[in-house]
Amino acid sequence: MSRIGKKPVPVPQGVTANVEGQTVKVKGPKGTLQFVVPDEVAVKMDKNEIHVEPRSETKRARSMWGTSRTSIGNLMLGVTKGFESKLEINGVGYRAAVQGKNLQLALGYSHDVNYPIPEGIAIATPKPTEIVITGIDRKKVGQVAAEIREYRPPEPYKGKGVKYADEFIFRKEGKKK
């Protein structure tokens, strides 16, 4: 039994949710989102709650049960509060700046890296060494943060590179004479 899947997803005030077959559509103050629930899971709406149940007792159905419930919960959070991911840049001369619809990164390469900002995502650089990614879709915010980090992941000797704000980099000791 999934402890997460058993809990119904409450629909907060100011949010309208709609279940049509396997599609859950949510509209709130920040925008609209939808999620297609896998066929192994049944979804239904009761009053101001969305209930998720597995259709069978297979391993895949049980694993999709909790995953689907969490994804629907993330839709509710996204249209009310939104999601945010922070990245930090460490290294001499490493910096970031938003120019129009691109994020320009100077990461120690011979050229600057231009990252086109996807639709539905807002990127801000309060400091040249800090990137704040915001949006209503949790998966999209996480994917954009991962793609930006991938240009120069942090290295273990000096910690240079792009890292998540809450990430800890295990340091290695360098060569000894």
pLDDT tens track for 71-85: 999 999 999 999 999
Bridge partner list, 6: none
What single-letter amino acid sits at 175? Answer: K
Query: What number is the average pLDDT over the span 32-52?
Result: 91
CA distances from 81 to 23, 30, 33, 119, 174 (A): 22, 8, 13, 18, 44
Give the whole-angstrom CA distance, residue 33 versus residue 28. 9
Tens-digit pLDDT profile for residues 107-130: 999 999 999 999 999 999 999 999
pLDDT at 170: 93
Q: Write the CB contacts of 13 (distance below 8 Å, at least 6 apart in sequence).
A: none
Query: What number is the average pLDDT over the span 11-17?
Result: 90
Q: Which domains does the chain have, with CATH numbers?
A: 3-80 (3.90.930.12), 83-164 (3.90.930.12)
pLDDT at 171: 92
Give the whole-angstrom CA distance, residue 95 versus residue 104. 8
Confidence of residue 176 (pLDDT cuts 50, 70, 90): confident
What single-letter amino acid sits at 47? Answer: K
